[in-house]
Amino acid sequence: MGTVTNGIKGAFRIGQTLSVLGRTGVNWVRGDRPPTPRLLRQTFESLGATYIKLGQFIASSPTFFPKDYVEEFQYCLDKTPNLPFGVIKKIIRDELGQPLDQVYAEIDPVALASASIAQVHAARLVTGEDVVIKVQKPGVENILLTDLNFLYLSARILETLAPKLSWTSLSGIVEEIQRTMMEECDFIKEANNLKVFRNFLHDSHNEDAAVPQVYEHCSTRRILTMERFHGVPLTDLESIRGYARDPERTLITAMNTWFASLTQCEFFHADVHAGNLMVLRDGRVGFIDFGIVGRIKPDTWQAVSDFISAVMVGNFEGMADAMIRIGITHKKVQVEELAGDLRRLYQQMDKMVPDQVPYEADQAEDDVNHILMDMVKIGESHGLHFPREFALLLKQFLYFDRYVHILAPEMDVFMDERLNMLH
Ligand SMILES: Nc1ncnc2c1ncn2[C@@H]1O[C@H](COP(=O)(O)OP(=O)(O)OP(=O)(O)O)[C@@H](O)[C@H]1O
């Protein structure tokens, strides 16, 4: 029976998708030219969860997609509306298998946040602890599966029909997205990530950073109950000053913790954007949202740390050599030529360090992505292809660079002795 219902729902969802494509005037489906980046982004926004995530994936994968699309998808908005509180309560009750008031003393009916996959509500446990409940929206997993199978099929057809299509190995990309997105739908995995990171903080005697405690008796695949953090996002400088006397110190703690996790934790947090890094009332740095994590092989990490060491001393040959060890290539790369190109990029970057105050966050994000894409492009022009884990890592590195500009404009990342990137 389950499969029949899924089949019907699946067919319905595909029909829905096609009708949105029709409504948004998507002649590009039939045409022989690819859609403009903007049209594609708008279409994705109206198609909901899967496509929004796909859009965000494009935005963070300059190694896979053309630059114009990567840039346009930086603006892919998660405009998913809030679900009524009644629906949320029912999901929680069904997942718990018992009346709400046996677990929670109260739940705030107004959501703290709502995005395509989950909605977050503040609550209090009967035992008195302040918590948040992250509730997975109904049917999300089904929609993702159907959409992704549909995309996978389309990709396979496109590949067969147009073998020369410049976006090579589309179905491989869809598979990769499917893997990471299905993981995001499993809150047990996320709960486990939170626990592992908490243990890492404990084992490394790190008392300046924090990660929410998971309440297992009220967490399942679809709901996650965890300690509530009271704080502000790391980039909100005005409010941070109210909590932390020295925002620079806070930033250094966040970075040191993240860098330590690269070697001392089994994964790294691969999505530490402003909203996922909080400065707490007691001055500690809170890491939240462990839906996306990355794992890096020891060899690759060794090469990355050699790359960072080379960047610190401005050794372009060293950078080039490390890049070659990180990338995947089938041909011989000329170290000196790659080093020369990196030197030119580095000189441009130096010029880009913002003089104007205040530094606009949007502008900074653009810069960060430009550098990332330029580096990757330089590597690729020399025949190197980078693993996605590396793109995640580099993007994170550049995010931190941006926070430094905002929070500690005087700081020199490569010279500051308080920073310990190579644990
Ligand atoms: N432990 C917590 N304490 C306080 N607020 C939290 C906590 N966890 C989540 N939030 C709030 O809920 C928002 C969304 O949570 P989270 O990032 O985990 O969900 P998400 O659906 O994965 O979001 P995104 O799509 O932005 O990655 C956070 O930005 C934060 O404002």
Q: Which atom of ligand 1 is nearest to the CA of 228?
A: 3
What is the 123 CA–ligand 1 centroid distance (Å)?
A: 14
Highest mean pLDDT among 55-64, 152-161, 222-231, 253-262: 222-231
What is the 119 CA–ligand 1 centroid distance (Å)?
A: 8
Structure tokens at 71: 């840039």
Q: Whose CA is nearest to atom 10 of ligand 1?
A: 120
231 Cβ closer than 6 Å to some ligand 1 atom: no
CA atoms within 13 A on the CB side of 221: 9
Top pLDDT among 195 and 51 is at 195
Top pLDDT among 414 and 257 is at 257
pLDDT of residue 159: 65
Q: Whose CA is nearest to atom 21 of ligand 1?
A: 118
- The model's pLDDT over 17-68, given as tens digits with 9 standing for 90+, comes to 666 665 555 455 555 566 788 888 888 877 777 778 778 777 766 666 777 8
Q: Which atom of ligand 1 is nearest to the CA of 120?
A: 12
- The mean pLDDT of the chain is 80
Please give the model's pTM, rounded to 2 decimal places: 0.77
Q: Is 350 a known active-site residue?
A: no
55 Cβ closer than 6 Å to some ligand 1 atom: no
What is the 339 CA–ligand 1 centroid distance (Å)?
A: 41
Q: Which atom of ligand 1 is nearest to the CA of 230?
A: 4
Given a cut of 80, whether residue 404 has pLDDT beyond it is no
Identify the active-site residue in 147, 271, 289, 306: 271
Given a cut of 60, whether residue 168 has pLDDT beyond it is no
